[in-house]
Amino acid sequence: MRSQTLGRALDALQVLADGRPRSSHELAEALSIPRSNAYRILRTFEDYAFVTRTTDGRYTIGLGLAAFADAGLREGEVRIEEVLTELANETSSTAILCIPQRDDVVVLSSVRPAAYSASVAIRRGTRLPAADGAPGMAILSLGPAEPYEADEITLARSRGVVHTKGSPFAGFESVAAPVRIRDGQLASVAIVFPHATRPLADSVEALRRAVQRLGRTFDVWTD
């Protein structure tokens, strides 16, 4: 049975994960709960540094969650950040790691290339529709086939990679691969770059190396 209190608290974190600070009133409206309940949730999270207050008194995600994310994403001695940094610099693209949350995927880590100013900045905690764009479709390709799923998801089960143009970021292409990380958790690794600036075959090879470092896939890789 789902704990309603815990569920509301986690819903609050998901709302704040978009990076926009909110007051207790704004959070209460977003969750459709009394303001007093929202305030108690926020104060509890503040005690654990899961949220922090801005100078104007609103609340945003705190550094306390980063320690949990880092601990949960360890795969041996390989850190997510190191793999994404290498991928971003090799491909001159923004490299991201996403995890599923309900009907969305959430960017858990994002790295821009060091020497390419045209790359897109993607905030950690950004929520993207799972069924729209390569990062989410790659994760969906690890699940059972659905009657009306996008062709890209179906193809990903044999190709091991999803390629989309204009989604989820207008003006950019995305190439993503599914990966199972620690304890079988589902995730995707993706690179995002301006239209027509990367050969697809090179992108796939770079993703394959990144995925091999992070975990294992169950797909056949092809160009």
Same domain, 85 and 167: yes
pLDDT for residue 176 is more than 90: yes
What integer pLDDT is reported at residue 73 of this predicted model?
55
Range of the domain at 113: 73-214
- Number of Cβ atoms within 10 Å of the Cβ of 115: 8
Q: Output helix, strand, coil percentages for the chain, rounded to the nearest 5.
A: 40, 25, 35
Per residue, the 3-state secondary structure of 162-209, as one string, reads EEEECCCCCCEEEEEEEEECHHHCEEEEEEEEECCCCCHHHHHHHHHH
Q: What percent of the chain has pLDDT over 70?
A: 86
Choosing from 48, 66, 84, the residue where a domain stops is: 66
- 94 belongs to a structural domain: yes
Same domain, 10 and 112: no
What integer pLDDT is reported at residue 66 of this predicted model?
64
**What is the arithmetic mean of pLDDT over 175-190?**
82
Euclidean distance between CA atoms 132 and 104, whole angstroms: 9
Domain count, the chain: 2
pLDDT band at 77 (very low <50, low <70, confident <90, very high): very low
What integer pLDDT is reported at residue 218 of this predicted model?
39
DSSP 220: -
Choosing from 18, 42, 66, the residue where a domain stops is: 66
- Number of Cβ atoms within 10 Å of the Cβ of 186: 18
